[in-house]
Structure 1
């Protein structure tokens, strides 16, 4: 008989069998279409006794603890995601935690854990929340929380093997974080649609005032067409867009989400992409951290970390957050009796010391009066900023101007750049004229719409027809010579006032008028 060769490889003797995370609390699997934000461990209702409700994943008998705010205006926190490919093999979890110790973070979402249980457990000082299948070692998502995040955890909801959400206390209220693992390209399109339907239900059940973060392996390429999708992504995308990327962008637009790791320019290309093919020739960005647009200004940076390695073809992505509040706008000043009274009382207190001054120096008295009025006005009335004229020069012209400045410096050493310098000169002139014409056309259109409001019409016409006022800043002597020296200028002013207020000359003028 012929001997057939087998492609199977015998497992080595030193191979350790796969293990499940120890100390895991089993919980009932929850469907994505019916997420339960609280009360999974509620007590059985009894007559005359109100059931005690507890946060998700915790027994009702646990004594509630005071939660600390995770996100504040003074601290920056790190929230990241990583597809580790598997944590089912022995030692993979420990290696993952060892790698994460090199970075600053509070919450890390993990995709493809391949664990078959759902719940929470603790290891090496970290709390791990996980959700997976009940029978097969596939997919699976999890959260890893450090001690700061543990003290802020309000509850969590293990929806399915692809969706896991947790809620944390913040200085503004609460923050909901959703870790996802989308179907890959080998899965059917029906699975992708079902995934987004379940994610939509989970987002819909999130409290409206929460800061919302959705992150994980979306298996979608959003590309870099930021001009078309500027509401959901930044200028620094990566690669091309595919069909599932279009689906993700549409989903973000429908839910007012912004992709944070497209917002910032990175010094190296390796900080942009998140996935690399086995042969190392193809790289894409398919892992994302998304936040609702209301809070996107709280993101200070978001990038990949190529130095983190757990044997996965995906890179760790971390976003830095810090709460930023808008400055409260002062209400327009209104003259009221109370303001008038406050002003009189304050100015009276400022003037009282001036009445008892021993000095007769006019300069000292005037300085005291000026300070009194300025301090009182700023304290009681406040200040009003002047309305600056709208800038009509476009950003393109400003960019060309900066480029021209650089070329000007370089052409001193490289004369061949002179044609480029001349071209930039012509372009700046042409585009500046076009910007001015467009600006005037816009003001004319504004006048047409303001025909019924005469005050606004005259104000707009004044802006169009106003010419710059040229002021004389020099002083000339009697013979017409321009005076530049400080002593000469003072002497000329003295001569002018002596002639203007000279008593003898004034008498001569009166005498001539009488005659």
Structure 2
């Protein structure tokens, strides 16, 4: 990853798996900065001053790059990056922990700094600590079920204690653990589809979809044309064949004209609908008063 041209490979994979933010744990870039690539993709990175070692940071699409308010390069192993959206604020902590063979002092120093970076994040932000923490949690989770759950493989290493202590101190649950045995047949497509469906279901159940208020003056017929135009737009974005894309673009233009030509509701119709709505509301109030 220490060659800039390799980022094109990551960008290609991100497009294939519809990923908008990819946190990299070992870019091996020096210093810190922000680099922009093709199609608006960018990476904010935090590295060592002189040595090509560690270095972390998020690689993101153009939209997420605009949503990133700022970024804080703590050191070559830790970086924070807050993002803002219409619904909430989110902070990513990109990290790369020392390996199990590194010095104990270096491990303790890493987690002390990680604790401090975590406390600096506003309480109302959604916090995601992402990266390579170089810890094996093992299969025996009886000692820490509230953090690890009941699944896992292999044996724990020394870094496991540091990781679980960090999670316990923040009342967190560890996720994204590697639960695949080395003897299993690993399929990237199936694995990614499974992970993506879990995240989608959780977000749908807890956040739901954003409700958009329709403009009163737009007729039902116009909304049908708008829906068709939107479907065509998505087909254009997801089509790589030049001939099909050209045909879809012509179709999009015709549907766009149909939207603009479609008549809206007149003032008289809006007035009648508003009056009927008020009468209906008044009847509900009267009925409630009668029942009470």
* TM-score, normalised via structure 1 length: 0.37
- The within-5 A match list for 1:71-220 is 87-89=1-3, 91-124=5-38, 125-220=40-135
Asked if the contact 1:222/1:245 (under 8 Å) is kept, the reply is yes
1:171 CA displacement? 4.7
Cα separation, 1, equivalents of 2:7 and 2:41: 11
* TM-score, normalised via structure 2 length: 0.62
> 1:272 and 2:176 equivalent?
no
1:323 CA displacement? 6.4
> 1:229 and 2:144 equivalent?
yes
Asked if the contact 1:165/1:177 (under 8 Å) is kept, the reply is yes
1:14-36 per-position Cα deviation (integer Å, ceiling 9, x unaligned): xxxxxxxxxxxxxxxxxxxxxxx
1:140-189 per-position Cα deviation (integer Å, ceiling 9, x unaligned): 11211113312321211111100011111145531111010001123101
Structure scoring higher RCO (CA < 8 A, sep ≥ 6) equals 1
Cα separation, 2, equivalents of 1:98 and 1:188: 37
Q: Which has the larger radius of gyration?
A: 1
Paired residue for 2:199, among 320, 329, 334?
320
The unaligned stretches of length 5 or more in structure 2 are 209-282
- The within-5 A match list for 1:455-494 is none
Partner SS state of residue 140, structure 1: coil
Q: What value does the CA root-mean-square deviation take over the aligned residues?
A: 3.3
- Pairs aligned (count): 209
1:326 CA displacement? 8.7
Give the structure with the larger helix fraction: 2
1:99-136 per-position Cα deviation (integer Å, ceiling 9, x unaligned): 23221222110011111131112101212100101111
Cα separation, 1, equivalents of 2:199 and 2:120: 26
Cα separation, 2, equivalents of 1:92 and 1:169: 28
Asked if the contact 1:234/1:260 (under 8 Å) is kept, the reply is no
1:307 CA displacement? 5.8
- The within-5 A match list for 1:356-505 is none
Asked if the contact 2:14/2:20 (under 8 Å) is kept, the reply is no
